[in-house]
């Protein structure tokens, strides 16, 4: 349940960055000078003719990140049923910092000289469409899996009846123990695609998500296997048919 705080911070902070990016292009000088100085410090200079597309790609990714955080916040508040588990203070502080740094990571992909008063030439490319389609696909499956997990603790009328663990079935649970973690990885990969596939910085983010979610999935998979003697043996922990 403490993850609710992470998504709330992400919605506020990344929403703020999203609004700033839009206003900085169309209404130069409309927001605080400290944020403009911050962007000049972390943004990279670009002499490419494709500067408009670099800006548009980063803007799309920031929007996708905000939508993802908003959906996860809504699911934490109204869908998921949490146990009384606790979180280590170090993990809690890291989680809050992570979503702030994530927005800045996207912001630094925007050329620092994009606010030059010139009209940016923006073209929707194949990787924008492919990334958004993959993002929607992975998000839908993640939501379905989270609903399945929540329903294990609810009656048919929707009332919470217990906080114990059960064996989930349906959707991607037929192949892996933690499909919501796998979907999380796919969501970040979709953002890498939206950035044009060549953005090395974001691929490091994807690599972090891969190891983080894989570790959590393995621990969860082992828990299921130890707790339920009849747990499906064909299920993998994280990636269908692979791991």
End residue of a domain, out of 67, 91, 123 = 123
Interatomic CA distance for residues 237 and 243, integer angstroms: 6
The model's pTM is 0.92
The per-residue pLDDT string of the chain (243 residues; one tens digit each, 9 = 90 and over) reads 899 999 999 999 999 999 988 887 777 655 566 666 676 676 666 655 566 788 899 999 999 999 999 999 999 999 999 988 889 999 999 999 999 999 999 988 887 666 655 566 678 899 999 999 999 999 999 999 999 999 999 998 889 999 889 999 999 999 999 999 999 999 999 999 999 998 899 999 999 999 999 999 999 999 999 999 999 999 999 999 999
Residue 176 φ then ψ, to 5°: -135, 160
Domain that includes residue 162, residue range? 124-242
198 plus 212 within the same structural domain: yes
Say if residue 131 is in the same domain as residue 119: no
Q: Helix, strand or coil for residue 241?
A: coil
> In terms of domains, do 117 and 1 share one?
yes
In terms of domains, do 128 and 52 share one?
no
In terms of domains, do 108 and 180 share one?
no
Compute the half-sphere exposure of residue 114: CA atoms within 13 Å on the CB side of its CA.
30
Alpha-carbon distances, residue 41 vs 34, 47, 104, 157 (angstroms): 10, 17, 11, 54
| 140 and 229 assigned to the same domain | yes
Count of structural domains, the chain: 2
């Amino acid at each position: 349940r403490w993850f609710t705080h992470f998504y709330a911070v992400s919605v506020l902070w990344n929403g703020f960055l999203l609004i700033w990016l839009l206003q900085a292009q169309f209404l130069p000088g409309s927001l605080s000078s400290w944020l403009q100085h911050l962007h000049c410090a972390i943004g990279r200079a670009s002499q490419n003719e494709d500067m408009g597309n670099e800006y548009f790609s980063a803007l799309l990714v920031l929007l996708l990140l905000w939508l993802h955080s908003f959906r996860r916040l809504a699911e934490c508040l109204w869908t998921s049923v949490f146990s009384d588990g606790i979180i280590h203070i170090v993990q809690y502080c890291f989680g809050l910092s992570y979503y702030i740094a994530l927005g800045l990571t996207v912001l630094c992909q925007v050329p620092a000289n994009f606010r030059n008063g010139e009209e940016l030439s923006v073209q929707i490319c194949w990787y924008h469409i492919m990334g958004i389609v993959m993002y929607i696909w992975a998000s839908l499956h993640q939501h379905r899996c989270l609903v399945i997990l929540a329903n294990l603790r609810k009656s048919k009328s929707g009332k919470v009846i217990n906080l114990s663990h059960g064996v989930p079935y349906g959707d991607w649970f037929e192949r892996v123990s933690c499909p919501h973690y796998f979907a999380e990885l796919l969501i970040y990969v979709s953002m890498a695609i939206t950035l044009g596939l060549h953005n090395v910085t974001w691929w490091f983010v994807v690599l972090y998500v891969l190891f983080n979610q894989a570790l959590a999935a393995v621990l969860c998979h082992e828990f299921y296997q130890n707790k339920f003697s009849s747990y499906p043996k064909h299920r993998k922990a994280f990636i269908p048919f692979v791991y």
